[in-house]
Structure 1
Amino acid sequence: MKKVMVITFHSVPNYGAVLQAYALCNVLRQIGFDVHLIDYQPKSISKGDSDSPLHKKFADFRKKHLPLTPQVFTNLNQLNGVDADVLVCGSDQIWNFAKSKARKNMDAFLLNFGPDSAIRISYAASTGGVGFPKEYHDKISECLASFQNISVRERTSLKDVGEVTDKSIDITVDPTVLCDDYPEADITCYELPEKYIVTYCLQASPVFLDAVHRVKTLYNLPVVNIGDTAAGLADKSLTSLGPDEWICLLRQSECVVTNSFHGTVFSIKVKKNFLSVPLLRKKKNKIYGLQEKLYRKGYRKAWCLPGNSIMRNRLFANWSSKNDRISSFLRLSGLNSRLYDYPDSIDFVGRPIDYDNVMQKIKYEKDESIRFLHKVLKGN
């Protein structure tokens, strides 16, 4: 049985990062490999209050559900001692080298370690839609030359990687899409309302807060915010959930409002009504900046979007490049309408989604990605 070693972001208290690591290892094991997740925890990634309730929940989940190597690796020299038949990097934004966490660990996430004889592949790696810094093009190209196969998650990543290598590049779905079996937990201890809307927020922009307000008005239900970014209109906020609890909160909700890629993916996986809100480029958006300052100073209606359509369009013109991962998956699923672009009406959010049709569309892409793994790892 081939020994497969996976390296990715997994040691951070981020639901998407940990669940995609779980999913990829689980799928590779089902295909028939001896799978190990390299417990790579350099200081540049594994920061934060390790004694906080949130960090403890994540640490418990990783220990219980991830096939971690016994050794914790903190630098490239240690990684050079890794023994493997196959080295896999991915998924998530491991190739977003505009971020210091990825850039400081470029060699690790480009598999520039381990035995020369090992097969090297990437699975659904993402550049974050921002491109590679030009000063690193030669280094990235040199590392990718040792890869047998390369796959990325989005078309923007395909373009970015294509600028530094002539190798064939496949697009594959995020590993969370491939996996159907996730751990879940008992959440009765949280005294939740009988029915509720869930918000999972990465950026409390005026657009997000406006969407939450409109969905809350439509459903006339309390809002439970999950995650450590306040959503502003929440009736209850849970900031220290484990990944298994996080999935349960989504599953038991009536509707989800999120601006997270993995929040969107799991809303679909648990077959919920949902609204996916675009992220904005804060530094280049004066309207965003003004409204955010007012909101933080206590002017709670500052999240209301301007009624003037020109002003509103200027706000939406500054979408972040990070939205490509969300919009790509919504197109794949046939759920483009669930990306919030300030429609005149959001009544459609209350209508059921034809998930039989959605899952059929996802199944095709899922099967193609599984075939990619079989082809590159088993030769069939």
Structure 2
Amino acid sequence: MKYKELLMKKNKIGLITTHDTNNYGAILQTFALYHFLSKFRKIEIINYDNYHISDSMRVLRFEASLIGILRLVKDLLRLFPRFSVIKKIRKFQNEFFLMTKKVNKENIKDLNLEDFGYLISGSDQIWNPACMTSNKSIDGTYFLNFAENITKISYASSLGSYIFSDIEQKTVRKNLIDFKHISVREEDAKIQLEKFINRRIDHVLDPTLLLSQKDWVDLFRLKKSEYREKYILLYSVPHTKLLKNICNHFSSELNLPIYSINQNPFSSIKINKHIKSAGPKEFLDLFFNAEFVITDSFHGVCFSTNFNKNFIVAKPEGLSNRIESLLKSVGLNDRMINSSEEIEKTENIINFERANSLLLNLRKNSKSFLQRAIDINKV
């Protein structure tokens, strides 16, 4: 077989990421990377069933422990909204993703990769053992250890705030030795990994930011609603005291109601509209139409920035490095509030001119990384 014919045959991309979870950010980052790559090559998601992650897609979850029982009670209290969200996520997956057969850690090596020329791991916290496994061990599947003789790439893989031990560093170094291109989502991950694998690592954007605001609007036909009242959008899971104080202040300051996207049955924050069953498309619409956003979520910051929404970040307890890295890269460091004392000093309005310029350049560099990595000039 001639080189050109062989290249054409083996030009498919396999993507492994957090594609099967009850999490808006994870689903939408999967969509964004899949959509961008599909412009250049055929792509399939490696349908890896990581039970620790996919367990969130079960309507009712039960384990024989106190925590398991409490979680089951919580799931029962939000049974119908939870069922609705999971159904919408499944519909979204079926509409937009082509996936391989379902595989697990035991049989993933049996997956037929004959037509695949590239494997990409990322994005999301796939390299954070604290997030990806129940025993906080490294899952080598996300380091593509199931495949040989194939071009391996990581795109915007994240460690969260995890620091690898000396023993874990040896495992990671071994797993990454045959990667052709490596990129991560956070600056501190780049610094940490470069120290012990002794090679260049690129710092790139989260996949949701590969797509411009116009891309998201056109793809999902997002429209400004003329009939919906103006609102502050709250997107957060843990409702901390700081978050409560921020909501009270800006709701009063802006004289706007609070809409909350949250599947939890109850809220400790006074909200005017509790949206418990939003699907991925409704999530995008709620961000696009919000007058102001309050969040402590990384992807909440991504969409607020990309949609040019005035927003405030309540510093989350732990894992704030992900948000801090993003805010720093687009010059919006001052949008994070660390304590209640800072609330009244924070401006309501953001001038996005500089942020948009920085984001445009970062997007260009991130796209260039991917295009180089998948050799689009060869076919």
**TM band (smaller chain):** 0.7 to 0.9
Matched, 1:330 2:362: no
Instruction: Return closer, same or farther for 1:61/1:124 CA change in 2, 3 Å cut-off.
Output: same
* Structure 1 counterpart of 2:144: 111
Q: Which residue identity does 2:99 align to in structure 1? A: L
Higher relative contact order (CA 8 A, sep 6+): 2
**1:366 and 1:187 mapped to 2: Cα distance?**
24
Deviation, 1:86, is 0.4
Deviation at 1:204, TM superposition (A): 1.4
Q: Distance in 2 between matches of 1:272 and 1:146?
A: 41
Structure 2 letter corresponding to 1:350: N
| 2:161 match | 129
Q: 2:199 aligns with which of 167, 170, 182?
A: 167
Change (3 A) 1:120 1:341: same
CA pair 377-185 structure 1, distance change in 2 beyond 3 A? closer
> Given the superposition, is the C-alpha separation of residues 99 and 357 from structure 1 closer, same or farther in structure 2, using an over 3 Å criterion?
closer
Measured in 1, the distance between the counterparts of 2:21 and 2:95 equals 16
Which residue number corresponds to residue 174 of structure 2? 142
What are structure 1's unaligned runs of at least 5 residues? 281-319
1:40 to 21, 38, 48: 48
Q: Report if the CA contact (8 A) 1:186-1:245 is conserved.
A: no
Which aligned pairs between 1:169-184 and structure 2 lie closer than 5 A?
169-180=201-212, 181-182=215-216, 183-184=219-220
**1:186/1:144 Cα in 2 relative to 1: closer, same or farther (>3 Å)?**
closer
In 2, the alpha carbon distance for the partners of 1:228 and 1:356 equals 34
Q: Report what 1:16 is aligned to.
A: 25
Structure 2 residues without counterparts, runs of 5 or longer: 1-7, 60-82
* Aligned 1:361-376 pairs, distance under 5 A: 361-376=358-373
CA apart distance, 1:221: 1.0
SS at match of 2:180: coil
Would you identify which runs of 4 or more consecutive aligned residues in structure 1 move more than 6 Å? Answer: 185-188
Count how many residue pairs are aligned between Structure 1 and Structure 2: 334
Q: How far did 1:219 drift?
A: 0.9
Q: Which amino acid aligns with 1:107?
A: G
- Match of 1:112, as an amino acid? N
Matches of 1:146 and 1:76, distance apart in 2: 22
What does the per-residue CA deviation read over 1:221-256, in whole Å, with 9 as the maximum and x for residues that have no partner? 110100225461211111221111001001111100
Question: Which SS does the other structure have where 1:334 is aligned?
Answer: coil
Percentage of identical aligned residues:
29
Match of 2:127 among 91, 95, 100: 95
The range that moved more, 254-263 or 211-220, is 211-220
* Distance in 2 between residues matched to 1:231 and 1:16, nearest whole Å: 23
Aligned residue for 2:299, secondary structure, equals: helix
CA distance change for structure 1 residues 345 and 260 in 2, over 3 Å: closer, same or farther?
Answer: closer
Distance 2:44 2:198 in 1: 30
Letter in 1 for 2:247: V
- The answer to whether structure 1 residue 237 and structure 2 residue 291 are counterparts is no
- Please show how residues 1-380 of structure 1 align to structure 2 within 5 Å: 1=8, 2-30=11-39, 32-48=40-56, 50-51=58-59, 52-69=83-100, 71-83=101-113, 84-101=116-133, 103=136, 106-114=139-147, 116-180=148-212, 181-182=215-216, 183-184=219-220, 194-229=229-264, 230=267, 232-280=269-317, 320=318, 322-342=319-339, 344=342, 346=344, 348-351=346-349, 353-378=350-375
Aligned to 2:3: none
Tell me the TM-score normalized by structure 2: 0.81
Q: Shift of residue 173 of structure 1?
A: 0.9
Within 1, Cα distance between the matches of 2:232 and 2:332? 19
Structure 1 CA distance, aligned partners of 2:52 and 2:320?
A: 26
Contact (CA 8 Å) 2:128, 2:138: kept in 1 or not?
A: no
TM-score by length of 1: 0.81
> Quick one: distance in 1 between partners of 2:119 and 2:234?
36
CA RMSD of aligned residues (A): 2.4
What is the one-letter code of the residue matched to 2:120? V
